[in-house]
Amino acid sequence: MSQSRPKKHVSIGRLRLLYVMGDAVAAVIVWLTYLIYRWTITNLRPLTIEDAVVPALLFYMPLIIYPIVSVLVHYLTGFYLNLVQISRLRELGKTFVSTLILSLLLFFFCNLNDIDTVDDYNRYYLFLFTLVLIQFTVSFSIRWLLGIYRHRLYRKRLLSRRTIVIGTGPQADRIMDELRQQPCQFELIGQVSLTESEHQRLSLLGTLDNLEDICQSYDVQSVVVALPSDYRNTELYQIINRLYHYQIDIQFTPRVYEMLTGAVRIRRPDMSPLVNITEQSMPDWQLCVKRAFDITASSLALLITSPLLILCAIGIRIDSPGPVLFKQDRIGLHGKTFHILKLRTMCIDAEPDGHPHLSLPNDPRITRIGRWMRRYRIDELPQFWNVIMGDISIVGYRPERQYFIDQIMKQAPYYCLLYKTRPGITSWGPIRLGYAQGVETMIERLNYDIIYIENMSLTEDIKIMLYTIQVILRGKGQ
């Protein structure tokens, strides 16, 4: 039955900020404690204020830099991504891993100038062991206290996810009963019926026709789609496509195909197995490393290629009238629109009828310098700015325009499965098939992209980047 508007929850962003601040405070405590300990052992006397203040650079700079480095290392372990669901055991493991990394960094920083004058390695082994002990004890103690606070929020149901169930019938009723038994994890808002007759008969939240209004009105965070077994996959994908825009967790009850292909995951023994559409196949730490690499590599790429970009900009202005940069709407993460950047390779008004047109071999719309830039993919260099802004990644699926997505989904309604991750500058599809010359090629490229998303890893990304470099050096662009 329909429920009132849900109470205000504690945001994940606020909880994440508390952990970041806690790790930064822990880093300051670790630095000061280790500094005092190392001075006392080395000089055989306590550290005074004069000893700490006089070498101001060596004292204050690490006090600022080390907390930043600590938060970065913790981020790269993937610790901050899923704070609500992380267990004490995983928290312990991630803290220990980051402790080892941070301890080695701080140890070598403090002892770098002493390498040539070492006469007693046992003392340095003692320093390293003590540093690891201090780092782990302080970091995990603060996280333990934050974990107590997080558990209280959990028990008060302030971290529960606002959840609706789409569908009626025995299967949907079973899911509803299971969600009610987990009030700390799920705040059950109600059901959405598939037809108007069911809505009037059962007095539910509404029907599929007003699904978007329900998601916005109740600030829905999680959806379980429990459709009858006779429902077609096309209708399931249509529902998923409508939900992706709201950045919510989407799960559905499995059928025989999902069970046979291993897509079903048992999250809790007291709940029915579900297929999570929005869950990333990459581990948390790899997702964070991938994002950090994207930002770093893109910044370096723009810096290194800036002379080439300037020369191309001059060539574009001389070759044909019009702007240097070309902006185009594409659909990316969560099905949202963003503006992709390219160096202009076509004449202005390349689509005079207002309808999108794919480029073809020997396309007369392509300018002279544009043909050369396309051959070596130089026109795509400005997309590194899109990477920095978070619109796309270096490696991902190729983003399309809404016009072509609408045509693709008529034949391949599962295109919406791409929306759970960022698109990319390069991917398996363009490497294997090149530029698309029709909807059929786009669908074939889509299948490569689906395979990539389900097998995402840093290793796969490296392979794709190496193949992309080969394509560029051979001048196989179009």
Q: For the chain, what percent of residues have pLDDT higher than 90?
A: 44
Q: Where are the beta strands (DSSP E) in 196-237?
A: 206-207, 222-225
Mean pLDDT on 160-170: 89
385 has pLDDT over 90:
yes
Q: What is the pLDDT of residue 113?
A: 59
| Ranges 69-78, 142-151, 233-242: which has the least confidence | 233-242
Q: What is the pLDDT of residue 355?
A: 78
pLDDT digits 0-9 by tens, 443-478: 988 999 998 998 899 999 999 999 888 888 876 655
Q: What is the pLDDT of residue 269?
A: 63
Mean pLDDT on 63-83: 93
135 has pLDDT over 50:
yes
Q: What is the pLDDT of residue 478?
A: 55
Q: What is the pLDDT of residue 424?
A: 94
Name the DSSP class of 418. G
Alpha-carbon distances, residue 44 vs 36, 95, 127, 129 (angstroms): 11, 32, 14, 19
119 has pLDDT over 90:
no
Q: What is the pLDDT of residue 261?
A: 47
Phi, psi of 6 (to 5 degrees): -70, 155
pLDDT digits 0-9 by tens, 390-437: 999 999 998 999 999 999 999 999 999 999 999 999 988 878 776 777
Q: What is the pLDDT of residue 260?
A: 43
Task: Give 86's pLDDT tier (boundaries 50, 70, 90).
Answer: confident
Q: What is the pLDDT of residue 48?
A: 61
d(CA 172, CA 178) in angstroms, rounded, equals 10
Q: Which residue has the higher pLDDT, 2 or 271?
A: 271
168 contacts 229 by C-beta, under 8 angstroms = no
Task: Give 300's pLDDT tier (boundaries 50, 70, 90).
Answer: very high
H/E element, 384: helix 383-389
pTM, entire model: 0.87
Q: What is the pLDDT of residue 8?
A: 64
What is the set of domains in the chain, with CATH numbers? 12-155 (no CATH), 161-276 (3.40.50.720), 284-473 (no CATH)
5 has pLDDT over 80:
no
Phi, psi of 334 (to 5 degrees): 60, 20
**Distant-in-sequence, close-in-space partners of 287: CB < 8 Å, separation ≥ 6:** 78, 81, 280
Q: What is the pLDDT of residue 109?
A: 79
Structure token pair of residue 165: 């169930």
Per-residue burial over 127-165, b = 16 or more CB atoms within 10 Å of its CB, e = otherwise: bbebbbebbbebbbebbeebbeebeebbeeebbbbbbbb
Task: Give 51's pLDDT tier (boundaries 50, 70, 90).
Answer: low
Q: For the chain, what percent of residues have pLDDT higher than 70?
A: 86
Q: What is the pLDDT of residue 199?
A: 56
Mean pLDDT on 132-139: 95
* Closest residue by Cα to residue 335 from 216, 237, 425, 257: 237
pLDDT digits 0-9 by tens, 177-225: 989 888 888 889 989 988 766 655 555 888 888 899 999 999 999 999 9
pLDDT digits 0-9 by tens, 199-212: 555 558 888 888 99
pLDDT digits 0-9 by tens, 258-285: 544 455 565 666 677 888 888 888 999 9
Structure token pair of residue 210: 């007003």
Q: What is the pLDDT of residue 1?
A: 44
Output the average pLDDT for the chain: 85
Q: Would you call 344 helix, strand, or coil by DSSP? A: coil
pLDDT digits 0-9 by tens, 304-334: 999 999 999 999 999 888 899 999 999 999 9
Q: What is the pLDDT of residue 263?
A: 58
Query: Tokens 């662009």 sit at which residue?
Result: 477
